[in-house]
Amino acid sequence: MDKKTPALPYQEPHGTSRQGNLLEAAIGREVRHFREKLGITIAELASSAGISAGMLSKIENGATSPSLTTLQALGKALQVPVTALFRGFEETRDASFVKAGQGLTIERRGTRAGHQYQLLGHSPHGPVMVEPYLISLTHQSDVFPTFQHAGLEFLYMLEGNVVYRHGDKTYDMFPGDSLFFDADVPHGPEELRELPIRYLSVISYRREE
């Protein structure tokens, strides 16, 4: 009986790399994005760029590496510079990882009233700033600060019970409850009913604000 040939570990095809695959996929996404923005079909763009519809379909799906000449033709047909087709690959994509209990403790309004803020991540690039906080209220206080700032805010209760005010309305919040609101309206905890209280607060706003 013939012995079966042992399976060999997977190897990338000659002349390809994961980095190359990412570049092809990024170019494909941008070509599709600009084509759909113009409201034209694959066949129409292919005809305008002087390539086959099958080739264009492969480019959009990241299944082939287009030549510089093809990219120039596509850029001209899409009315964008060739560099625009590399935008998705060149953009910085950030990620923030914070181990449990290791969020950056920061000073904000309300800290003196017994509010502890732990910043869980940040977005250093892009037009939108996102600030996720873990907020802990560990002792009752007679003074509750009112907050008002640009952007939107999302709260998610983890522990305890707090009555939270937003404008002229109040919300009795328990674990699992959430609140999403315009942060330009005065808001903040009004009554601490069950301590300790912990909730997530995610604030987002345009960077120029």
Question: Tens digit of pLDDT for each residue in 93-151?
Answer: 566 666 777 666 665 555 555 678 888 887 766 788 889 999 998 776 556 778 899 99
Q: What is the pLDDT of residue 13?
A: 41
Is 8 or 144 the better-scoring residue by pLDDT? 144
- Interval 46-59: pLDDT, tens: 999 999 999 999 99
- Interval 68-88: pLDDT, tens: 899 999 999 999 998 888 876
Tokens 């990882």 locate to 97
- Residue-wise over 145-163: b if at least 16 C-beta within 10 A, else e? eebeeebebebbbeebbbe
Rounded Cα distance between 186 and 13, Å, is: 59
Rounded Cα distance between 34 and 74, Å, is: 10
Q: What is the pLDDT of residue 83?
A: 86
Q: What CATH number matches the domain at 18-90, 1.10.150.120, 1.10.260.40, 3.40.50.1820, 3.90.1150.10? A: 1.10.260.40
Sign of CA dihedral 13, 14, 20, 26: negative
Is 104 or 188 the better-scoring residue by pLDDT? 188
Rounded Cα distance between 118 and 171, Å, is: 23
Question: Can you identify the CATH homologous superfamily of domain 104-206?
Answer: Jelly Rolls (2.60.120.10)
Lowest-confidence pick of 61-75, 92-106, 169-183: 92-106
Rounded Cα distance between 180 and 123, Å, is: 20
Q: What is the pLDDT of residue 5?
A: 45
Tokens 């919300």 locate to 171
Ranges for all domains in the chain classified under CATH 2.60.120.10:
104-206
Name residues whose C-beta falls within 8 Å of residue 23's C-beta, 6 or more positions apart in sequence.
65, 86, 89
Rounded Cα distance between 175 and 157, Å, is: 5
State pTM to two decimals.
0.54
| Token reading at 95 | 């990620």
First-residue to last-residue Cα distance in the chain: 75
Sign of CA dihedral 69, 71, 74, 78: negative
Q: Which of 95, 161, 77, 168 is nearest to 132 (CA)?
A: 95
Q: 3-class DSSP state for residue 47? A: helix
Ranges for all domains in the chain classified under CATH 1.10.260.40:
18-90
